[in-house]
Amino acid sequence: MSNLKPRIKHISLAFMGAGWEESYLNFRAFRWADIKDTNTENKASHVVIEETLAVLKRSFLDGKGIGTDGQVVDITADDLDDLDLEALTTIGQQLGGQPDPNA
């Protein structure tokens, strides 16, 4: 285990639409150890998505979102399963270094 403090990546969920402007996810920035065994070559898309989601869950720290009742809720790693594919793609891109689409 490293003694280095991890870099935190703060992802705004404002791209999700109205009501999500104050929502966010915090992740530990990806380390080489997190992704070195990830190989998308010759894999079915559902396998790639499952592997990507597993990496996201291992790096997840905390977050706030909007519940079905419109109230602010804490987001857990398991809640990532309930995000749509477009949201997961955007989150993965931002964690990988692409700019925030809201910037």
In a domain, 71, yes or no: yes
Q: What is the mean pLDDT of residues 4-9?
A: 86
Cα(95)–Cα(60) distance, integer angstroms: 11
Distances (CA, A) of 20 to 13, 52, 70, 77: 6, 23, 10, 18
Burial of 55 (0-12, 13-18, 19+ CB in 10 A): middle
Q: What is the mean pLDDT of residues 32-46?
A: 63
pLDDT classification of 6: cutoffs 50, 70, 90: confident
In a domain, 1, yes or no: no
Indicate the pTM of the whole model: 0.79
In a domain, 103, yes or no: no
Q: What is the mean pLDDT of residues 82-91?
A: 91
Per-residue model confidence (pLDDT) at position 30: 73
In a domain, 64, yes or no: yes
In a domain, 67, yes or no: yes
Chain-centroid distance of CA 100 in Å reads: 13
In a domain, 101, yes or no: no
In sequence order, the 6+-apart residues with CB closer than 8 A to the CB of 69 are none
Q: Model confidence over 45-75: pLDDT tens digits?
A: 666 678 788 889 989 999 999 999 999 999 9
Structural domain that includes position 15: 8-32+42-95
Provide the number of structural domains found in the chain: 1
In a domain, 46, yes or no: yes
Per-residue model confidence (pLDDT) at position 61: 96
In a domain, 37, yes or no: no
Q: What is the mean pLDDT of residues 7-18?
A: 93
Per-residue model confidence (pLDDT) at position 33: 61
Residue 44: phi, psi to the nearest 5? -65, 150
